[in-house]
Amino acid sequence: MEKQYQYKPVLFYFLVAVLTWIPWFAAIRLSYGENGEAYASLLNLLGLLAPTATALILVFFFGTPALKADFKDRFINLRRLSPTYLIVLFATPPIVVFFSIWLSLFFGQSSDQFGLVGDPAGILPLIILALILAPLIEETGWRGYGVDSLRSRMGPLGTSLWFGVLWSLWHAPLVFIKGTYHYDLANMENPIYLANFFVSVIPVAVLANWLYYKHNRSIIAGMLTHSMLNGMAVLFNATQFTKCIVTVVYVAVAVAIIILDRKAFSDGPRDFVHGA
C-alpha cells in the first residue's frame, strides 16, 4: 500500500546545526592563532557543506524511493523552471540594490557605490565562492530538503519566516571567526550593521522561497536565486548604511509579494512526496 513520506524537519535542522557549528567553533579558535585564518577558511567551507550532507543522508539513506526520485528530478529537470519567473529572479536583486544605492545618495552616500568592489581578476575568488560554490553547496540542502520539511508542518508564510529565522541564526558562529565578513561587521563601531545582516536574511528568505515554489520546487532555481542575491550583496561598493536601506527595500518586496500573491501564501501544510 502506498504511503506518504514523513519529513523530519527537527532532525534536519538539528543535524545541520551540529555538523556546521563543530567545524566553525574549531575555526573560531584557529583564526586567532598564527597563520590561523587560512585553516579557519577551510573549516568555514567544511561547515558550509552541512546542509547538503544532511539532506543527502536523509534522502538517500533514510528516504523512500519516491523521495529519492523527487530529489533527483528537482535537481536536474530544467523544465521545472518558469521563463516568466526567471525574469523576476534575475531582475529583482539588481533592481533592489541599485534602487537602494540611488536612495542612499539623498543621505550623502557616494555614487561610487555603483562600481564593483575591485578589478575583475582581483575579485575572482569572491565570485567563485559567492556566486557558484555557496549557492551550489547550500541550496542542495536548504531547497533539497530543509524548506519542504518545514512546509510539511506549516503553510507557505510560516515556512518562509521560520526558515528565514533558522537560516539567519545558522550564520551566528561566523561573527566570532576572524577574517569573515560577519566578524568585520561585529567589530564596526555601529552595531546596527551586524544586526542588519541577521534581519536581512528573513525577507530575503520570503523572496527565495516564493521563487522556489513558483519554479515548481526546482533546486536549480534556488541556486540561481541564491547566486543573484549573493552577487548583488558582495560585488558592488554599497556601504553598510546602504545595505540597511537594501534590507528595508527587501522587506517591502516581501510584503508586496505576500499581499499581491495571497493565493501562494494561503495554503496549509503540504507533503509533496508520496509512495513507499
Catalytic residue among 2, 34, 37, 171: 171
Residue 248 has φ and ψ, to the nearest 5°, of -60, -40
**139 a catalytic residue:** no
Catalytic residue among 37, 138, 139, 226: 138
- Rounded to whole angstroms, the Cα distance separating 139 from 187 reads 29
Residue 116 has φ and ψ, to the nearest 5°, of -70, 160
- Rounded to whole angstroms, the Cα distance separating 197 from 244 reads 8
**171 a catalytic residue:** yes
- Rounded to whole angstroms, the Cα distance separating 68 from 59 reads 6
Report helix, strand or coil for 110. Answer: coil
List the grid coordinates of 36.
590561523
50-60 helix and 65-76 helix, angle to the nearest 10 degrees: 140
Distances (CA, A) of 126 to 93, 189, 227, 235: 18, 25, 12, 8
Which residues carry out catalysis?
138, 171
